[in-house]
Structure 1
Amino acid sequence: MKFAKLSTFTLLFFAFSVNADVQLTQADLLGTWQIDKESVDREGTKSRSLNTTWTFREDGTMEGKSQESDVHARIDTLRAVLNYSVEDGKLVKQAAPGRSRMETCTAIEKENDNMILKCRSNYFFMTKK
């Protein structure tokens, strides 16, 4: 009987710990991250590839650069600098340049130089450069 209770508790513990969010620190973010793809679902099946980098600086700013692959695009490179902070283990960043609205992003997975970040309605699959 004790074994059954213990194994049930163990299974529940592992089920919840697998789904637990990763607590971020500013040190985890510092540097440049390549956005490999962006998706509306966690599995990344409905994704689009991006040529985008996010560079997190110690001064609380992050620079986003996107390179357009369409030869007919009006602008070949888009650059924006946003404010960010890390609060309660989550990334809180400016939603758009020049706006005061902030959005909270949660690290769903982080292993070595790979991270999946959930921001509002998108998942970002990232690799540290």
Structure 2
Amino acid sequence: MLLRTTLILLFVTFAANAEVKLTETDILGTWQIDSESNNSDGSHAKKLSSTWTFRNDGTMEGMSTDSDINARSSEIRAIVQYSVEDGKIIKQTVPGRSKFETCTAVEKNAQKMTLECNNVYFFMTKK
């Protein structure tokens, strides 16, 4: 019985972290980043006020707003290059730089997506 329970838990854990192959069609449009976490289950998540807009010209516009009165700027906007290769998003880390990062979808349905980018999980909703 213990072995069976252990195998079931291993299977569920593996299935929860299974990779979802994306196409460009899957990601086009604007995604609200609801939260980010270092944990795949979303525990200890940080709420964000950010959007990522994937365009069919290979650019992604990121926009974040900050309501902190001590923030240097209330809005930050950046446009970076991206592509979808082997079901993963490859995107610039900083505009104008040649460094890219790979983001893997670990969950995706019609309106929700969880991306892992360099061990940070982004929990997103399609707008």
**TM-score > 0.5 by shorter chain:** yes
Given candidates 12, 23, 26, the residue that maps to 1:25 is: 23
- Cα offset for 1:20? 2.4
SS of the equivalent of 1:62 reads strand
Query: What residue in structure 2 maps to residue 83 of structure 1?
Result: 81
Query: What residue in structure 1 maps to residue 107 of structure 2?
Result: 109
Give distance in 2, aligned partners of 1:69 and 1:49: 13
TM-score, L = length of structure 1: 0.85
Q: Which runs of 4+ in 1 moved over 6 A?
A: none
Q: CA RMSD in A?
A: 1.8
Extract unaligned runs of 5+ from structure 2. Answer: none
- Cα offset for 1:111? 1.4
Extract unaligned runs of 5+ from structure 1. Answer: 1-7
Give distance in 1, aligned partners of 2:88 and 2:29: 17
What's the % identity of the aligned pairs? 56
Matched, 1:34 2:39: no
Which protein shows a greater Rg?
1
Give distance in 1, aligned partners of 2:33 and 2:69: 21
Query: What residue in structure 2 maps to residue 55 of structure 1?
Result: 53
Aligned residues: 118
